[in-house]
Amino acid sequence: MLKILDRYIIKTFFGPFFFIFSVLFFIFIVNIIWVQLGQFMGKGLSYWQILKLLFYLGVSVVSLVLPLTILLASIMSFGEFGERYELAAMKAAGISLTRVMAPLLGVATILAVMLFFFSNNIIPDFQKKAKNMLFNIAQTKPALNFTQGQFIDQLPGYMIKFDKIYGENGENIEGVFIHKKASTYENQQSVVAAKGKFLPAANKNFLKLELYNGYVFEDDFAGKGENARLKQPDQVIKFDTLVSHFDISEIINKGIEKEQITDDYRFQTYGQLNETVAKSKKENEAFFSNISADVLSQTNSVVSYMDKNKSKVIAKQQVKLDTLKGDKKLEILYNSYNRLENLKTTSTGKKAEFSSNIKYFSKVVIYQQRILSYSVTCIIFFLIGASLGSIIRKGGMGLPVIIAIVIFIVFYVMNLGIENISWGGGMSPYLAAWLPNLILLPFGIWMTYKALTDSQLFDAEKYKALFKPITKRFSKTKEHKRYQ
């Protein structure tokens, strides 16, 4: 009898589970598309390459999608049990709520273990594929990497800058500057144009650019000596339209998925990250000791000198500024000011390096710990979801969805806020990775206790009765119409 009941409970759970997981995964993928797709469309990538890249990027969202799916599916499942009075029938038959939750708790534990192995072994590999693909696209598709206002050296033999890039596919440009990199025995050439446009080339190995209203600056003094430039000015050619073809065959044929980036903590498993954490900690200790030595050296050169020579040095008698006159006094003040400014600049630079090291160490530790902590989140979310479902006794996509989204938003905001605090050095990264779980665990236990004791936590009449003495004072008693 109980085995049949267990199968029924598990079947009821997995019905909404697969549907919710598919919907949430699609929503997270759409979010990635919204952020990433704009920079790839119309840039020469095939649809297959775009879909493959989005899949690589989307695999990493499973670590967030699965806990949310368990939360929502458990609320809906137990809400349906309560709405159809199946929980009441089970309790009448002597089956406790803990016994009803037991098979799904086992399922949630199995899913949590699967998420750990998925995050530890599969996600790092897909992260590596995604990052290398993004890097190779930037290298092999020059149109992708054109950023307005910046010099670009992706095209072989050229330095290019565009003041403005616009159009549906970024094909229109303004403020064009192109400089040809030339050796000692080649002519120097620069092109300046007011406007331009990318056009499709007949040969895919060439990038076609049509320029309007510009000038070509060129000299022909290659190999003629340094004094040749002084005898004759550069040649300037004005043009209305100029068509240029850039040979990109060297880079366009490189493999999009060739692995060129291998050193990233996101590509590592939990065990490999232990070595990265230890290495980062050792580098930070060495860096902090160097900072102390540098600051001490600049703050007090006498102390540094005494420490190195291990000998006692008698300090010179202090010079009083009141006894000095003219240039000597100004010289001492100027030197003192320069020392303070140098010390201030050094301190600012060291502070930036210090913050960068702390942030990197925190990122590595939090990423490592979340491989395990997100698995624990699955179990905590199940406890919360099953308890809430049995209390509210509402199935479907209404109230359960709202409650699940609110709980997940609170969890997600806590993650981001605590993560930022840890990056700034205000909290241990180990605590930052586990603190959201530590906050939600007591809430999950409390909700489970309320569900086991049949608490009417969401009964509106209960709260109306609680505030009735207060509202009664401010309400006027009305006589029946028959007595008026």
Q: Which long-range contacts (CB under 8 A, 24 or more apart) does 330-334 make?
A: none
Is the same domain home to 122 and 31?
yes
Three state DSSP letters for 82-106: HHCCHHHHHHHCCCCHHHHHHHHHH
Question: Residue 338 contacts by C-beta under 8 Å, 6 or more apart in sequence?
Answer: none
Question: Residue 380 contacts by C-beta under 8 Å, 6 or more apart in sequence?
Answer: 437, 440, 441, 444
Q: How many CB atoms lie within 10 A of CB 73?
A: 30
pLDDT on residue 298 = 54
In a domain, 465, yes or no: no
Q: How many CB atoms lie within 10 A of CB 381?
A: 29
Is the same domain home to 383 and 357?
no
Is the same domain home to 335 and 388?
no
pLDDT on residue 208 = 84
In a domain, 23, yes or no: yes
In a domain, 481, yes or no: no
Domain that holds residue 162: 150-256
Least confident among 147-156, 277-286, 295-304: 295-304
Is the same domain home to 29 and 114?
yes
In a domain, 89, yes or no: yes
Indicate the pTM of the whole model: 0.64
Is the same domain home to 15 and 135?
yes
Query: pLDDT, tens digit, for every residue of 76-110?
Result: 888 888 888 888 888 888 888 888 888 999 999 99
Is the same domain home to 171 and 232?
yes
Average pLDDT, the chain: 76
H/E segment holding residue 316 = none
* Residue 440, CA distances (Å) to 213, 279, 362, 452 in order: 65, 33, 22, 18
pLDDT of 310 > 70? The answer is no
Share of the chain above pLDDT 90, in %: 11
pLDDT on residue 307 = 47
pLDDT on residue 378 = 93
Query: pLDDT, tens digit, for every residue of 17-63?
Result: 998 899 888 888 887 777 666 556 555 566 777 788 888 888 888 98
In a domain, 477, yes or no: no
Is the same domain home to 172 and 50?
no
Q: What beta strand segments (E) does 200-348 contain?
A: 206-218, 235-247
Is the same domain home to 25 and 132?
yes
pLDDT band (50, 70, 90) for residue 354:
low
pLDDT of 326 > 60? The answer is no
The Cα–Cα gap between 286 and 288 comes to: 6
pLDDT band (50, 70, 90) for residue 133:
confident
In a domain, 419, yes or no: yes
Is the same domain home to 332 and 371?
no
Q: Which residues pair with 215 in a beta bridge?
A: 192, 238
In a domain, 389, yes or no: yes
pLDDT on residue 247 = 75
Of 321 and 466, the structure prediction assigns the larger pLDDT to: 466
Is the same domain home to 172 and 202?
yes
Q: Per the structure, how many domains does the chain have?
A: 3
pLDDT of 338 > 60? The answer is yes
In a domain, 63, yes or no: yes
Which of 224, 256, 288 lies at the terminal end of a domain, its last residue? 256
Is the same domain home to 67 and 184?
no
Q: Is 114:378 a contact under the CB 8 Å cutoff? A: no
Is the same domain home to 399 and 425?
yes
Q: What is the rounded average pLDDT of the residues 356-363?
A: 83
pLDDT of 360 > 70? The answer is yes
pLDDT of 422 > 70? The answer is yes
pLDDT band (50, 70, 90) for residue 473:
low
Query: pLDDT, tens digit, for every residue of 395-415?
Result: 666 777 788 888 888 988 998
The Cα–Cα gap between 159 and 246 comes to: 12
Least confident among 191-195, 401-405, 476-480: 476-480
Query: pLDDT, tens digit, for every residue of 258-272?
Result: 666 667 788 888 888
